[in-house]
Amino acid sequence: MSSTYGENILVSIFGESHGSAVGVTVSGIPAGITLDMDRLKSFMERRAPGNSRYSTPRKEGDEPCFISGVVDSVTCGSPITAIIKNNNTKSADYGEIAECPRPGHADFTAHIKYGGHEDYRGGGHFSGRLTAPLCIAGGIFIQILEGKGIRIEAKILEIGGNAETPFEEIDRAKEKGDSVGGIVSCEITGLPVGIGEPIFHGLENKIAQAVFGIPAVKGIEFGRGFDSARISGSENNDVFCCEEGKLITETNNHGGILGGISSGMPLTFNVAFKPTPSISLCQNTVNYRGESVELKVKGRHDPCIVPRALPCVESAAAMAIIDLMNIM
């Protein structure tokens, strides 16, 4: 089902980059939860553009406006809907996309899928702009999880292959009019043992489904991930030990998940982001009539979206966990 997530909760994201607003509806959140709106705003600002030299200066003013489900900052039990107005949209910048799909974007696939009726302006519904409503939902979920002692933290592991001085890679790409991707690591602590359902609704399945909802994600691995495919079972197995009467594991190659279910150890995963497809360099490509064109993506774009993606990864993870927990 397009743009929705969840079975116990339901998160439904709507809006296009250059429509009047983007937003989200969340069903299944219990009544009586007090939302810290200042914290939510701070959380949203981590994702918002224009807050650092590494991100696009387009200032969006990502303030969520709650239109249902919340009375005086307290949830009232009915579906929560919040929208963010799209103020600063210059549709004129995007006229060219109507004719010529940008490499690395969803312009072409959306064009075919929707028979030419897609909202192509700024990528429409496929824009990174749609991670703003994801972060509204995620910011709420994170507050609920923290109330249960569960904490989620995403960090930059490397950018452009550089783990030592990652931000130098952004400067370098920016100078060239190019872009760069990176890898984000995420850790979730405080998760009780037993969260996750067998086979298709385990933690890996659900987190992966959520995280691939962030544009530019091309890979995910849990615990030791791809590296575990290269070591022996005796090295990879995490043996149990007993600490203060609780079973834990001595090592954490399994990343806190066994059989899709939380083991009580920190849940760890890494996410690979491809470089931003919007670059200032000229690209030799073709338009929908098959004619060769030299495309130069207009406007100013992030040379790297990885720093702004951290709250998105946290939001996706929080959403998956809230959906698997019995919070009602």
Site for a copy of itself in 46-105 (CB under 8 A): 67-69, 71, 74-81, 83, 101, 103-105
Q: Would you say 65 and 116 are in contact if contact means Cβ atoms under 8 Å apart?
A: no
Cβ closer to a copy of itself: 42 or 107? 107
- Asked whether position 141 contacts a copy of itself by CB under 8 A, the answer is no
Cβ closer to a copy of itself: 26 or 44? 26
Out of 45, 285, 298, 300, point to the residue binding a copy of itself (CB under 8 A): 285
Where does this chain touch a copy of itself (CB under 8 A) — which range of 37-45, 135-143, 253-261, 307-315? 253-261
Where does this chain touch a copy of itself (CB under 8 A) — which range of 36-44, 135-143, 146-154, 243-251? 243-251
Q: Which residues contact 45 (CB under 8 A, 6 or more apart)?
A: 51, 62
Out of 45, 171, 187, 225, point to the residue binding a copy of itself (CB under 8 A): 225
What is the rounded distance in angstroms from the CA atom of residue 218 to the CA atom of residue 222?
Answer: 14
Where does this chain touch a copy of itself (CB under 8 A) — which range of 42-50, 55-63, 137-145, 177-185? 177-185
CB count within 10 Å of CB 298 equals 15
What is the rounded distance in angstroms from the CA atom of residue 249 to the CA atom of residue 222?
Answer: 16
CB count within 10 Å of CB 207 equals 27
Out of 146, 185, 288, 310, point to the residue binding a copy of itself (CB under 8 A): 288
Q: Would you say 274 and 283 are in contact if contact means Cβ atoms under 8 Å apart?
A: no
Out of 48, 130, 132, 188, point to the residue binding a copy of itself (CB under 8 A): 130
Cβ closer to a copy of itself: 42 or 79? 79
Interface of this chain with a copy of itself, residues 255 to 284, rule: CB under 8 A? 255, 258-263, 272-279, 281, 283-284
- Asked whether position 113 contacts a copy of itself by CB under 8 A, the answer is yes
- For the chain, the first-to-last Cα distance in angstroms comes to 23
**What is the closest distance, in whole angstroms, from the C-beta atom of residue 67 to a copy of itself in the complex?**
5
Place of tokens 């192509």: 120
CA-wise closest residue to 320 among 214, 161, 170: 214
Cβ closer to a copy of itself: 213 or 311? 213
**What is the closest distance, in whole angstroms, from the C-beta atom of residue 249 to a copy of itself in the complex?**
7
- Asked whether position 126 contacts a copy of itself by CB under 8 A, the answer is yes
- Asked whether position 178 contacts a copy of itself by CB under 8 A, the answer is yes
Out of 118, 129, 311, 322, point to the residue binding a copy of itself (CB under 8 A): 118
CA-wise closest residue to 322 among 231, 191, 216: 191
Strand, helix or coil for residue 227: helix
CB count within 10 Å of CB 29 equals 24
CA-wise closest residue to 104 among 124, 89, 123: 123
